[in-house]
A and B are shown apart, each in its own frame.
Chain A
């Protein structure tokens, strides 16, 4: 059985935010809503200063707290490990945002156009108004994945810091990288068993 997963190479990430933009374009998210974020952190004291980047998205946990705690059944897990959501079921309790340790779930409070002239044709195409008052998150671009393509962020990353593949296949790129580079999961201590691994 396939279990889709991702590796994020922290050494390769240059913080260009290409993945963030690719995600926004692919999913047509309204202003202020990011399914994918790249956190930037500066550590140390001059002259020994270091800037590090940590891209994050939904971790598609094996034991997802959002699926368990959402009272209206918005979130569900596919057989291939991808945690999906159905906006038409969202009641707006926001408990998903409380329980997600990765702050991966966005709540679309109000949808406003990007430009003062009103909604552009692409914004109208995405029908963002229907997302108002509902939770939303990364779905690993499952429509692309099922048609044999990579998620938009993985395809766009110019430094190939992101890899996508089957975690259950020992010959997949992701499995090999996790093994070779000692990949780790974010907040593994919480027992959620994420499908996204970071390569130090």
Chain B
């Protein structure tokens, strides 16, 4: 997501791609956000190499060791250990995998559903548009967290269930934005031109419209990924999401609840990790919006 490959064209004249690259590299928020996210992705991918211990290994003799900046901290456990004596740094590192997996999978599932609905509504208009708008209104009327909690509780909480439930519930913003953007693009001349040449509907939607609504799609994708990560954390925090012993950051905070007044770092560490990841994704989304529509910042 952070890298945009641009072919080197004419060196004498600044090409469109090069201008875009200059705009991207000149946007401080985008660069910071992308670097942060790249770092977190790297940590998640290299987790087995980076984690000093097995994140599931319990050692009741070494429970609740405070982190290194604390008076009683030790270099053996840089971020300390939890109430079961598991190394906190290793758990936080493996937790990044869960959050990223949730963010990406929910984004893909809801993105596919939402963009399909939005594109159809925006392109065909009329009855299709009415039907899609109605479905979106119905979906928006339902309290998301409550419905997700209830469904996860009846099916039984697990990582795949959380991904599926969130993915099937969170497509509304994709649909709303894709509908509006498609309506705008549809009225443009090159779409009319494609219609006149006799291009098929599928070709017009996939070849003419989709590429031109991509910036908006990417911005929504970042918002939804960040939101999905926060939702998973909230579900797991309430005990109705990812189940122990998986090191979900939300679950880690839940497990530390009874120690919060004595060992607040047990909550602060995964909480900060969550905040940094979501912040990085949001900064990328804001940055892409600024870069793709310069002059409009809201």
Asked if A and B are interacting partners, one says no
Which residues does A use to contact B, with CB under 8 Å?
A: none
